[in-house]
Chains A and B, each alone.
Chain A
Amino acid sequence: MNPEGLRYIDEYRNSALVVHLSHQIRRISTKPVNLMEVCGGHTYAIYKNGLKDFLPDTIRLLSGPGCPVCVSSQKFVDHAIELGKLNGVILTTYGDLIRVPGSISSLEKEKAGGADIRMVYSVLDALEIAKQNRNKQVVFLGIGFETTAPASAAAILQAAKEKVRNFFLLSAHKVMPPALEALAKGDTRIDGFIAPGHVSAITGYGIYQKLSKDYHRGVVISGFEPVDILQSVLMLVKQIEAGHYKVENEYTRVVKADGNPKALAVMNKVFTQSDTEWRGLGIVPKSGLAVSSEFESYDANLKFDVPVHDSHPPKGCICGDILTGRKSPSDCKLFFSQCTPVNPIGACMVSSEGACSVFYRFKA
């Protein structure tokens, strides 16, 4: 390998292997199957590398609900916008969220209008901002799944330890298993799931047992490089052709059976499960993570009383149907003509991992 190369990345981009795996898949695939890549990171990798060209017509890949920005509800964005209007509040957020259109505004527009909204790379940067601005209230907009929820939890524990009293979390954090179960019960037949590699690194395999045992769906935990994804598709096709559904792990270099116990403990200490709203899936019972009563003084939901109304997705936007595998971006009348990454109408066009944005970038 070239010494400038990136270890644990370059070897999984080997084009000879990609071709070999493609042959293998073509050789064994006879049944038409729908496979869902749950994670937006997988969607991105599939289109960036043109992996659909390496698959036979029998295999259809559907994008799933694993893009944090995309599944965050309109109501959450509206709630954040209201918080940003309060005097003395600094809003902090991961980058993509800032561009998601709310009902009448977006965080980006509010920022241009003078609201103090700052993008951070890590939730610990938000905590740092709180420490440096003790006379302000700093709210972090917590989005994402079992990957980013432990990070938000760690920040709250750190705030408690350092007695930082002006740091708050508005949690839209979500957990994957209830959403996957809702999809398995849904009206689109999904034969197998390419399961999210980094969520699984935290949770381990256990969370997928129900999908294979009760719902008879294939599950393969996958890494994010081209070789990982095609290897995972091959493993799923083998399961489905044989009619033996199980949970397998392609991403063994990162994902352990029990996940990351420390991250899980931190997450479970700070959060309790709650019902939450997903764009596309609606309210999914016990799929959300709310700040537990022990840490309620860090809960932006309780601390700030702002008006939050029910809100509706933008007219004509089918982002919700795309996130559940029912439709594809090309089915949307607004795609490309009116909705573009520069002028996004829906959340799926905003995030770099959103199906519409990925389609736009690599296909259109």
Chain B
Amino acid sequence: MCLGVPARVLRIEGSEATVAIGSVEYKSSLLLLNNVEVGDYILLHAGFAIEKIDPEEAEVTTRLFNEISNIEPE
């Protein structure tokens, strides 16, 4: 139940968003997170958006990983 899943924000109505994980849509409350916009990725946890996913930080990590795997193929 502590699972949190990255989900893309499709629509926002008041304090509720419709989000997508892959092609499946879910409802997500925005009562615990400020400044959410359509197109953002949020972490969905038990029906609530609990944090935004920072695309730049994710980019840094994946880039680092890609470099590593290029330098050192299996």
A residues within 8 Å of B by Cβ? 4, 6-9, 11, 14, 16-17, 19-20, 23, 39-41, 66-69, 94-96, 121-125, 144-145, 147-148, 150-151, 154, 157-158, 196-198, 201-202, 224, 227, 252-256, 260, 262-263, 266, 351, 353
Residues of chain B within 8 A (CB-CB) of A260 are 32-33, 50-51
Q: A6-B6, A252-B60 are in contact. Are A125 and B47 (CB under 8 A)?
A: yes
Not counting A154-B32, A260-B51, a sample of 20 additional A-B residue pairs whose C-beta atoms are within 8 angstroms of each other reads A6-B21, A8-B6, A8-B53, A8-B58, A68-B1, A122-B47, A147-B2, A147-B4, A147-B46, A150-B32, A151-B46, A154-B31, A158-B31, A198-B43, A198-B50, A252-B54, A254-B43, A254-B51, A255-B51, A260-B33
Q: Would A39 and B58 count as touching, CB distance under 8 A?
A: no
Q: Would A227 and B53 count as touching, CB distance under 8 A?
A: no
Q: How far is the CB of B2 from chain A (nearest CB, A)?
A: 5
**Consensus secondary structure, chain B interface:** mixed
Q: Would B33 and A263 count as touching, CB distance under 8 A?
A: yes
Q: Would A154 and B33 count as touching, CB distance under 8 A?
A: no
Q: A6-B22, A154-B31, A263-B33 are in contact. Are A96 and B47 (CB under 8 A)?
A: no
B residues within 8 Å of A by Cβ? 1-6, 8, 21-22, 29, 31-34, 41, 43, 45-48, 50-51, 53-55, 57-58, 60-62, 65, 68-69, 72-74
- What is the total of A-B residue contacts with beta carbons within 8 Å? 131
Within 8 Å by CB of A253, from B5, B33, B53, lies: B53
Q: Which residue of B lies closest to A145 (CB)?
A: B2
Q: Would A151 and B1 count as touching, CB distance under 8 A?
A: no
Q: Which residue of A lies closest to B21 (CB)?
A: A6
Within 8 Å by CB of B74, from A19, A154, A263, lies: A19
Residues of chain A within 8 A (CB-CB) of B54 are 252-254
Q: How far is the CB of B47 from chain A (nearest CB, A)?
A: 2
Residues of chain A within 8 A (CB-CB) of B50 are 147, 150, 198, 201-202, 260, 263
Q: Which residue of B lies closest to A267 (CB)?
A: B32
In Å, the complex CA distance between A14 and B69 comes to 10
